[in-house]
Amino acid sequence: MKNIKLAMPNFKEARMRLKEVPTIEYEMKDEYKKLGIGKTYHVFTYGCQGNEADSEVISGILEQMGYKRGDDPYTCDVVLLNTCAIRENAENRIWGVLGNLKGAKRENPDMLIGICGCMPQEENATKRLLETYSFVDLIFGTHNINSLPKLIYQAYLSKAKVVEVISGEGSILEHAPKIRESHHKAWVNIMYGCDEFCTYCIVPYTRGKERSRSKDEIIAEVKELVLNGYKEVTLLGQNVNAYGKDLGSDYTFGDLLYDLDKTGIERIRYTTSHPRDLDMKTIMAMAECKSVMPQLHLPVQSGDNEILKKMNRKYTYEEYMQKIEALKKAVPGISITTDIIVGFPNETEEQFQNTLKLVRNVGYEGAFTFIYSKREGTPAAKMEDSISDEEKRDRLHRLNELVNAGYLKGNQRFLNKEVLVLVDGESKNGEGMMCGYSEHLKLTHFKSNDLSLIGKIVKVRVTEAKTWFLIGELCE
């Protein structure tokens, strides 16, 4: 198959932070609007909430082109994989799914297979896709989702593989159509990209420069969600606490929380926060705004100052603990969760012990824990690493034991108490059970088969507290 290469990824350009970023007003040309009529699509989504939000836009664009969501992903006319590059095992899953799709394409040669998201933004991944996965028709990245109709059109027209991966600062796409997955909870992007350049992390290269949406656009989006019956928004960004810095105004993330609280939305959550940029205004907003939920994901990565420095996290154990204390004081009962990496290059047992100490001192009620994964092109990839894989797995195991005890303790404090649950739907936990999340983001199952409760906030009395969830009874 011949290739049409409109642009290839380039890590040097991806590192650049020079230009102003444009805001692009979404529009679709009429000639693309009928391309998908009578055809089906499926989008596989991997990685973070940013990717989930992008997939909602991708689905919106495809439906505007006339495509309908298919029942079986492996028999659809267009199949897209929205990929994640954060760790090697995230990428390995995707190579695996691609293997399955190869068989599906043999059965149905007209199937259009596309790869998008963070993986194509890496030079090596795109090279491998081109060399080894010749059945992939379409490759595009995180910066050009709005080119999707054009790229599909070209792939149909020329029967060639189409590659367009743009590196660099990126842009802000406004007013693109979205097919939201939920009718009561919504993702709302408030900013894109990341300028932190933690030494282990690929995201600043795959997502471009930090760029904030205008506050008016964000507030208007949340107001519209309220009108449409939405109860909860999760504000998204790789570092939401840096909101507004790139706009050069004094309006910060804390100000945005106060303004969004006035829209009438019942619940506001946000992710992810960088500890260095979490300021008092944000903490005060969490304390004072009724809609901002008493829960925070505050990734720490390590409890050792030397490792934190090598990671370029720009805070110390002591500074992190000060913010935790301030949060606990301002928002009594707040549930704090985190992300932790073990086995960063040459991490000693003593340094790992400092992480365990921090986990004990904070009293996390949950954590995503990872073994460090080398990402080509990042500064940490060049660091010497003499710790064996076995030792890293052992550290992860010891850390997880502590973290899991924190999950359980965090749930036990709600035993025999009433919690407010936004109902998501039927529970996979057994017949006649429904579930949702409490204000502190605790998954809660309760006995009911009343589907009209979906999207409503109900009061549940907790009767059992397990490690991963609560069980309770509906209060009349």
What does the binding site for ligand F3S look like in residue numbers (CB under 6 A)?
Answer: 47-48, 50-51, 84-86, 117-118, 202-203, 206-207
- Decide which of ligand F3S, ligand SF4, ligand SAH, none touches 446; Cβ closer than 5 to 8 Å per partner kind: none
Q: List Cα–Cα distances, 126 to 2, 83, 112, 161, 233, in angstroms.
A: 16, 12, 17, 12, 34
Spatial contact of 277 and 242, defined as CB atoms under 8 Å apart = yes
Min. distance of Cβ 23 from ligand SAH in angstroms? 23
Helix (H) or strand (E) holding 88: helix 88-107
Torsion region of 364: left, alpha or beta (phi above 0 gives left; psi -120 to 50 gives alpha) = beta
For residues 377-402, one letter each, b for 16 or more C-beta atoms within 10 angstroms of the residue's C-beta and e for the rest, the string is ebebeeeeeebeeeebeebbeebeee
Biggest alpha carbon distance in the chain?
A: 65
222-241 residues in contact with ligand SF4 (CB under 6 A) are 238-239
Min. distance of Cβ 236 from ligand SAH in angstroms? 10
- Decide which of ligand SF4, ligand SAH, ligand F3S, none touches 151; Cβ closer than 5 to 8 Å per partner kind: none
Task: Please say which residue, 51 or 354, places its beta carbon nearer to ligand F3S.
Answer: 51
Residue 330 main-chain phi, psi, to 5 deg: -75, -35
Taking Cα atoms as reference points, which of 141, 137, 152, 237 lies closest to residue 188?
237
Task: Please say which residue, 86 or 222, places its beta carbon nearer to ligand SF4.
Answer: 86
- Decide which of ligand F3S, ligand SAH, ligand SF4, none touches 197; Cβ closer than 5 to 8 Å per partner kind: ligand SF4
Site stretch for ligand SF4 (CB under 6 A), options 160-168, 192-200, 320-328, 439-447: 192-200
Task: Please say which residue, 59 or 239, places its beta carbon nearer to ligand SAH.
Answer: 239
The whole-angstrom separation of Cα 336 and Cα 320 is 13
Indicate which single residue of 375, 392, 395, 445 sits in contact with ligand SAH (rule: CB under 6 A).
375
Taking Cα atoms as reference points, which of 112, 144, 108, 114 lies closest to residue 126?
114
28-67 residues in contact with ligand SF4 (CB under 6 A) are none
Spatial contact of 355 and 340, defined as CB atoms under 8 Å apart = yes
Using CB under 6 A as the binding rule, whether residue 372 contacts ligand SAH is answered as yes
282-311 residues in contact with ligand SAH (CB under 6 A) are 299, 301
Task: Please say which residue, 53 or 396, places its beta carbon nearer to ligand F3S.
Answer: 53
Residue for token digits 């949406």? Answer: 213
Other residues' Cβ atoms within 10 Å of the Cβ of residue 107: 9
Taking Cα atoms as reference points, which of 412, 343, 420, 356 lies closest to residue 383?
343
Using CB under 6 A as the binding rule, whether residue 339 contacts ligand SAH is answered as yes
Task: Please say which residue, 161 or 209, places its beta carbon nearer to ligand SAH.
Answer: 209
Min. distance of Cβ 148 from ligand SF4 in angstroms? 24
Helix (H) or strand (E) holding 189: strand 185-189
Spatial contact of 163 and 8, defined as CB atoms under 8 Å apart = yes
Using CB under 6 A as the binding rule, whether residue 198 contacts ligand SF4 is answered as yes
Using CB under 6 A as the binding rule, whether residue 277 contacts ligand SF4 is answered as no
The whole-angstrom separation of Cα 460 and Cα 365 is 20
- Decide which of ligand SAH, ligand F3S, ligand SF4, none touches 234; Cβ closer than 5 to 8 Å per partner kind: none
Show the binding pattern over residues 69-88: x = contacts ligand SAH (CB under 6 A), - = does not: -----------------xx-
- Binding residues for ligand SF4 (CB under 6 A): 194, 196-198, 201, 203-204, 238-239, 274
- Binding residues for ligand SAH (CB under 6 A): 86-87, 200-201, 203, 238-239, 272, 274, 299, 301, 339, 341, 370, 372-373, 375
